Structures are given as C-alpha cells and as structure tokens.
Amino acid sequence: MQFEEAVARRRTVREFQARPVEEEKIRKVLQAGLAAPSNAHLKSWEFILLRDREARKISIVDHLKARDMKDRAEIDRFLAAFEDETLKGVYRRTLPLQLTMLLEAPELLIVTYKMKPLAECRRLFDLNPLVSVWMCIENIMLAMAAAGLFGCTYTPYDTAGLKTYLGIPEGREIAVVIPFGYPARMPEAWPGEKLEARLHVDRW
C-alpha cells in the first residue's frame, strides 16, 4: 500500500469484529512504532499487550475508571463548555462507547514511555518525551491502517493505579491505551482539510 493511501485510510475506530488479529501483523505494527523519531534518540517506549480478559477488566474499570456516558443530560452538561458543533458531534457519538471499546476490542495495547514528573517540567522542551511517544503512536496507527487494522487512542486521566497494578516501573508513564482490531464497519476516509486555509508563506 502507498504511504498516501495509509494516511488517508487511518481513522479512529471504536467498534470491532470479534475476529482475532494475526500475531505477525501486531509485531509489524509495533516495529513500525519503534521506527519513529525521538528526542535524544531515547526511544524509551515499551508496550504491554493486555490479553488476560480479567486483568483487562480490572485495569479499565477499577483503575482507569472508564465508562460509557450514555445519559443525554449528562452528555449535555459535559458539552456545555464546548462551542464547536463538529467537536460536540464527535463527543456525542464517542462518549457512549469509551468503556465498551476498551472491553470488547480483540486486542488492547498500552504504550509506555519514560518521563520526569510533570511538576518538574519547566519548559515545553521538557515535554519532548511526550511528543516523541506520540510520533511512535502515530506510526503505529498508520501501520495498522496499512494492515487493515484500526483502533482508538484512548488517553486516561489518571494512570497511577493502573501503573501499580501492571507493575510498570517507577519513572515510566502510560501515554495511551489503544483498543484495536478489524473494524465492525470500514471507516470513511476523512474528507480532507483545506491546506490553503492553513498555509502561510513567509509571514502569518
């Protein structure tokens, strides 16, 4: 598959087929993640494939406290602070699926990286490890799309309990939890952003 095709095909998917994902495809996708650039060549990324179903449930429900927000009034209250209608639409579709996608996807990937505590970060430069891990994550998502796989980059609010439960070493952070697999329905390609409205040459 051409690079442009994989880029256009990648979309966030939150509903999956039960079909298992081939081990060699998973390894290829993670290998693509490790090819990403990183600050100071650190590539501190390590992965956990959470396959034990009971451990997954404890991780997601008890430690991440993920839940499907389904109550209309609660969703409206959550969205009250947002103005953008497109963004509101995304949340209306996705808030009711947050727990379900994490519990039901055939695979669950946790991406970890080394990062000093946020309280010790003084400059944006100090956030380079976070920036780098997202380059790794994007490589993973693109490699998935090229392999017909899709997922969702779920970003937990508080990872302390999960890090302890999974035995993740001190000094390491969880960047993302990615439920993934073959999509329940093929996602539509994104219509495409208008570059001309965003590109400035020489001056803003």
Give the other-Cβ count within 10 Å of 64's Cβ. Answer: 22
Please identify which residue in 90, 118, 186, 189 interacts with ligand FMN, judged by CB under 6 A. Answer: 90
CB 152 within 8 A of CB 14: yes
Residue 140: burial class (beta carbons within 10 Å; 0-12, 13-18, 19+):
buried
Please identify which residue in 16, 45, 113, 154 interacts with ligand FMN, judged by CB under 6 A. Answer: 154
Instruction: List beta partners, residue 179.
Output: 108
Please identify which residue in 38, 59, 139, 153 interacts with ligand FMN, judged by CB under 6 A. Answer: 153
152 binds ligand FMN (CB under 6 A): yes
Specify the residue, 12 or 39, whose C-beta has the smaller distance to ligand FMN: 12
Chain length of the chain: 204
User: Could you give the string, one character per residue 29-68, with x where binding to ligand FMN holds by CB under 6 A and - elsewhere?
Assistant: ----------------------------------------
- How far apart, in whole angstroms, are the C-alpha atoms of residue 192 and residue 171? 39
Please identify which residue in 11, 25, 92, 172 interacts with ligand FMN, judged by CB under 6 A. Answer: 11
- How far apart, in whole angstroms, are the C-alpha atoms of residue 192 and residue 179? 25
Site residues (CB under 6 A) for ligand FMN? 11-12, 14, 90, 94, 98, 152-155, 190
